[in-house]
Chains A and B, each alone.
Chain A
Amino acid sequence: MDDKQRNEAYNQYVKAKIPKTRAWPSLFNSFWVGGVICLIGQAINDLLKLAFPMLSQQTNWTLTLIILIFIASFLTGIGVYDQIGKFAGGGSIVPITGFSNSITSPSIEFKSEGIIYGICVKMFTIAGPVIVFGVASSMVVGFIYWIISLF
């Protein structure tokens, strides 16, 4: 058996072993869990609006997101968010809480490798690309607007 054949056989084996997510239940779960997370966000936002009417809308949203990030980070710490993630898939990844989870989860997991090389380095395994792409693309947008503003 040459390498190519062996690789193919191995890929077949891996494919057979990967647990199959059943499409419809997981789509449904991601829908309602994602929806509920957004509802919680909206509720926090409305409560903040009631409590601090003098805040601008943007400040209010920033505070809302910070509270959501805090909750998700805490739930990751006590191991609850990963359970939600197993159940809801995309419903737990796409909201900002998923971003928070993607930072907290590896930092806790690699804590045993030390504070610098464990927590601080592994923290950005998933969030790194998100921040890089986000910042780079916002710079592109800013540059385009700057060119337009010249004329």
Chain B
Amino acid sequence: MKIFLDYLWVFLIGGTICMIGELLIITTNITSARILVTFVLIGVFLEAIGVFDYISDFAKAGINVPIIGFGASLAKGAIGAVETHGFLGIFTGGLTATAGGIAAAIGFAFLFALIFKSHTKK
């Protein structure tokens, strides 16, 4: 039963966040780059004020899979690195924490761009 409730929360919260994105697109004709930037900044902000972990405890993938989670781990990395390395952490923290995701996105994109051809848009 607990796992069912957990998954229901994940679905509802993740869906709501995506719907807010769609609402922004419909009402303001905002481009997808701006949507992504906006949500990353929201994630950085939520982590910086310390709220993100509380949401993450019950929302799990509902907040970690949307790009808000990417922003939050950038901020989390920066904060953690400042605590352990001091000033240098400002520069190393963010990218270190998100290195896996960024490298994966770039690497796979490069690989698949070499393999696949463009699909003509209908």
Contact = CB atoms under 8 A, between A and B. Distances in A.
Interface of A: 21, 23, 26-27, 30-39, 41-42, 45, 58, 61-66, 68-70, 73-74, 76-79, 82, 88-91, 93-100, 102-104, 107-109, 111-112, 115, 119-120, 123, 125-127, 129-131, 133-135, 137-139, 141-146, 149
B94 A142 contact: yes
A34 B44 contact: no
B22 A30 contact: yes
Contacts of A88: 18
17 contacts: A31-B16, A42-B10, A61-B73, A69-B108, A73-B111, A74-B108, A82-B121, A104-B112, A107-B109, A107-B110, A111-B114, A119-B114, A126-B33, A126-B36, A130-B33, A134-B98, A146-B87
Given A79-B119, A99-B36, A135 B94 contact: yes
A112 B118 contact: yes
The dominant DSSP class at the A interface is helix
Interface of B: 6-7, 10-26, 32-33, 35-37, 39-41, 44, 47-48, 60-62, 64-67, 69-71, 73-75, 77-79, 81-83, 86-87, 89-91, 93-95, 98, 100-102, 104-106, 108-119, 121
